[in-house]
């Protein structure tokens, strides 16, 4: 008897767009070595394994693997797993249904809300398990420009400068002048590996962003490169947007109140993705933050392992 799995396109309402995710169900008996091998076999940016939780108050336990190693937290596996679980239980619901899940991850318990609607892509959003924190690092602007095949003058806009953030996974945030500069990037992984800082036991990935987007609703346009994770480029990165929220709050000096922000990513890959970020600012600080998006099933089957 095989082990059930499904492939979801995440952060999109359209199949064959967004970020593909493999979801492996009933994975409690798989070893770490087996899960890593299966993630390598799928060869997607991430594969999520659903296991029984360690606490009765949690819905499930999630283990998240890139082709090269395990992650303590990631956005598109959180959204995709929440949607897959909800659709597995209530996918044929004829009336609108809202659910709440507690997804146990290595970063800690993550609360996710799921919105099921008949004849519509399912939407899920989660509270950030950790607020973004700025990490210490010094950067050579010209060296980063060389790693991106850009001019140093194309880095930065308004008061946004290169910064280093993590909300569970570390990213170097590189602001670029405009959408044209982002599209022109030719990423050199060898140069990046020589200059990227280490944090939380791993080499930081590169998250490039600018204001605006191809979609008129987007506030920011982005690309993500993570050679250390075995990801040449990622169509959508929720953990990076979680980290980006710190840079947005700092450099845009957000006032107290609610701030909905749409981030588009994956456009240059032909996999447009839309990540919904909601920030609540109180007393000049991030009080709460949520990330969400749609997900659609593209395939399902059984693993013979």
- Please write down the HEC assignment for all residues of 171-194: EEEEEECCHHHHHHCCCCHHHHHH
Using the predicted structure, report yes or no on whether residue 93 has a pLDDT greater than 90.
no
Helix (H) or strand (E) holding 40: helix 32-42
Average pLDDT, the chain: 96
Other C-beta atoms lying within 10 Å of the C-beta of residue 252: 15
Say what the pLDDT of residue 15 is. 97
Q: Is pLDDT of 76 > 90?
A: yes
Top pLDDT among 161 and 119 is at 161
Q: Which residues of 264-289 are buried (b: 16+ CB within 10 A; e: fewer)?
A: bbbbbbebbbbbbbbbebeeeebeeb
Rounded Cα–Cα distance for residues 277 and 125 (Å):
9
Task: Confirm whether 1-126+292-301 and 131-291 share one CATH topology.
Answer: yes
Structure confidence by residue, pLDDT tens digits, 169-201: 999 999 999 999 999 999 999 999 999 999 988
Residues with a known catalytic role: 46
DSSP 3-state of 5:
strand
122 with 108: CB under 8 angstroms? no
Domain ranges across the chain: 1-126+292-301, 131-291
Q: Residue 1 has what pLDDT?
A: 58
Q: What pLDDT digit, counting tens, does each position of 127-143 carry?
A: 999 999 999 999 999 99
For every residue of 179-245, DSSP letters joined together read HHHHHH----HHHHHHHPPEETTEEPEEEEEEES-SSTT-SEEEEEEEGGGTEEEES--HHHHHHHH
Confidence at 94, pLDDT banded by 50, 70, 90:
confident
pLDDT of residue 217: 97
What residues does 111 pair with on adjacent strands? 102
Helix pair 238-252, 75-90: axis angle to 10 deg: 120
Give the end-to-end CA distance of the chain in Å, rounded to a whole number: 9
**Run of H or E residues at 77:** helix 75-90
pLDDT tens-place string over residues 227-239: 988 899 999 999 9
Report the CATH fold assignment for 1-126+292-301: Diaminopimelate Epimerase; Chain A, domain 1 (3.10.310)
**The pLDDT of residue 69:** 92
131-291 maps to which CATH number?
3.10.310.10
- Calpha distance 303→49 (Å, rounded): 13
Tokens representing 249 are: 């709050």
State the pLDDT confidence band at 156, using cuts at 50, 70 and 90.
very high
Question: Is 59:46 a contact under the CB 8 Å cutoff?
Answer: no
pLDDT digits (tens, 9 = 90+) for 228-284: 888 999 999 999 999 999 999 999 999 999 999 999 999 999 999 999 999 999 999
pLDDT over 90 (residue 13): yes
pLDDT greater than 90 at residue 298? yes
pTM score of the predicted model: 0.96
Q: Classify 254 in phi/psi space as left (phi over 0), alpha (psi -120 to 50) or beta.
A: beta
- Find the mean pLDDT for residues 201-215: 95
């Amino acid at each position: 008897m095989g082990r059930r799995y499904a492939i979801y396109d995440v952060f999109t309402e359209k199949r064959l767009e967004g970020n593909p995710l493999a979801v492996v169900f009933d994975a409690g008996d798989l070893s770490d070595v087996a899960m890593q091998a299966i993630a390598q076999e799928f060869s997607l940016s991430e594969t999520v394994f659903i296991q029984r939780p360690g606490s009765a108050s949690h819905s499930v336990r999630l283990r998240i693997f890139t082709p090269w190693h395990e992650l303590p937290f990631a956005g598109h596996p959180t959204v995709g797993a929440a949607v897959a679980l909800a659709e597995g239980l209530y996918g044929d619901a004829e009336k609108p249904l809202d659910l709440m899940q507690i997804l146990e991850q290595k970063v800690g318990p993550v609360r996710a809300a799921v919105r099921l609607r008949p004849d519509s892509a399912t939407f899920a959003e989660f509270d950030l398990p950790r607020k973004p924190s700025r990490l210490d690092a010094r950067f050579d602007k010209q060296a980063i420009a060389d790693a991106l095949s850009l001019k140093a003058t194309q880095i930065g806009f308004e008061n946004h400068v290169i910064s280093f953030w993590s909300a569970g996974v570390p990213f170097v945030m590189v602001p670029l002048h405009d959408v044209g500069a982002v599209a022109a990037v030719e990423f050199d992984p060898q140069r990046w590996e020589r200059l990227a800082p280490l944090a939380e036991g791993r080499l930081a990935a590169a998250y490039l962003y600018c204001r605006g987007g191809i979609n008129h609703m987007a506030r920011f346009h982005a690309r993500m490169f993570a050679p250390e994770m075995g990801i040449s480029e990622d169509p959508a990165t929720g953990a990076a947007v979680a980290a980006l929220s710190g840079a947005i709050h700092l450099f845009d000096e957000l006032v107290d109140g609610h701030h909905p922000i749409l981030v588009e990513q994956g456009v240059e890959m032909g996999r447009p993705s839309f990540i919904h970020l909601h920030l609540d600012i109180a007393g000049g600080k991030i009080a709460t933050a949520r990330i969400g998006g749609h997900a659609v099933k593209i395939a399902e089957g059984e693993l013979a392992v």
